[in-house]
Amino acid sequence: MSSAPFAPVHSQTEASHRIPVPDAFVSRFGWLEGKQPIRVWLWLLSDGHYRVLTDEQAQSDLVIAPIRALIVDGPSEKPTPASEAQDDEEAAMPAMLIQTNVTPPPPVWRIVIPKAAREFPPLKTKRFSTVLTMHGHWEIWHTDILWRVASRSRE
């Protein structure tokens, strides 16, 4: 067993675009159980930096819930007038939430990294880092971006 079970884990996606979930995360997040894939969401926090959310977390968050509803249920039946527009940040919000799955063993729990997350600018990558934040959130980073941010924080 590792002496630092919650240290960042760096992985490369396999052909099925999945990366392993560290054993310590499986223990920490009790919802990782059963024999069926579990729907989760990747919430884009910044370039190449995602927070993993359960479907329940996505449904209960005041900002994320309406975006999830749009993705799952489609737009409301009463569209706004064609001349009415959202600001760019609000209009881009549906692109900030990506549905995916965590798949059960064998051999281990793995999270699917969808094409939208692998190829989201600024770079295409197969290298991802799994991180537990200081606030207890599960996050996934493009490894190169994580190291760039970590290097800047030491300056």
Task: Assess contact for 41 and 97: CB atoms under 8 A.
Answer: yes
For residue 39, the cross-strand partners are 101
Query: In order of start, what are the domains of the chain with their CATH numbers?
Result: 11-75+89-150 (3.40.1550)
The pLDDT value recorded for residue 75 is 83
The count of other CB atoms within 10 Å of the CB of residue 110 is 21
For residue 59, the SS3 value is helix
Q: Output the pTM of the full model.
A: 0.87
Each residue's pLDDT, cut to its tens digit, for the chain (155 residues) gives 456 677 888 888 878 899 999 988 898 888 999 999 999 999 999 988 999 999 999 999 999 999 999 999 988 777 788 898 888 888 888 889 999 999 999 999 999 999 888 877 666 778 899 999 889 899 999 898 898 888 886 65
Give CA–CA dist 34/103, Å, rounded.
10
The count of other CB atoms within 10 Å of the CB of residue 116 is 14
The pLDDT value recorded for residue 43 is 96
- Encoding tokens for residue 25? 């995360």
CA–chain centroid gap for 104, Å, is: 17
